Structure 1
Amino acid sequence: MPYSPLASVLFVCVHNAGRSQMAVGFLSHLAGDRIVVRSAGSVPADQVNPAAVEAMSEVGIDIAGQRPKILTTEAVQASDYVITMGCGDTCPVFPGKKYLDWALEDPAGKGVEAVRPIRDEIRGRVEALISEIDAGRRA
């Protein structure tokens, strides 16, 4: 029988360079291939925020090779969960998707010391999301 992931998750923030990239790193690290994960931004930056890369490296997760991507309708349609992190109403809405808005401070322009608490909050939210997805599968 072919393997089927539990769910697919799309993390969206404006620049797809900090919060969403850290969330992808945590979800990929903690859930492995059980959950398909992607990210995008409404106005993607040229590169991932170096302070976010450093903060994630401190916890053993390498996001240095990631690249910001533009938000597409197809990415939203392909996802079960769409989690916005400050992109407001630029995210298309489709029936049957679960939309969550995580109000998180933007790490843009901040040093690693200021990014660490944001990173830690993202980890907690990702862990709760994994628990919710697992519980939904058992239900």
Structure 2
Amino acid sequence: MGRQRVYPSDLTNQQWETIEPMLPLIKEPGADPEASFRDIVDAILYLDRSGCSWRQLPVDFPPWQTVYGWFQRWKARGVAERILEEQRFIVTDTLGLLVSVTVLPRRGRTATAPRRRCRASICSR
């Protein structure tokens, strides 16, 4: 079933539904996974957010060796880059119009800040 979600770094169900299809299934024939991929991803996110070492993972995550092994496999296959690229497209599609409308300056104003005058005592002129 998996562990209870208690850390701020844990994925929401919606986030997991987006990421899960992007994870390659790397299984040895006849071997059952030691831990769920969601628990492994949550452990990697916990490591990233907390800054702890692999060996300092809390006991409610899979063993650090398992998490590290999957991290190395996914890193070699470019999984993180694929997930980030896919998320960028989702955000761009969803917010693209909103951002393009709200970033434009108001009519009659420029996007640059006004030039400041410096005092004579600190100017190099």
Give the TM-score taking structure 2 as reference length: 0.26
Q: Give the structure with higher Rg (CA).
A: 2
Name the structure where strand makes up a greater proportion of residues: 1
Name the structure where helix makes up a greater proportion of residues: 2
Give the TM-score taking structure 1 as reference length: 0.24
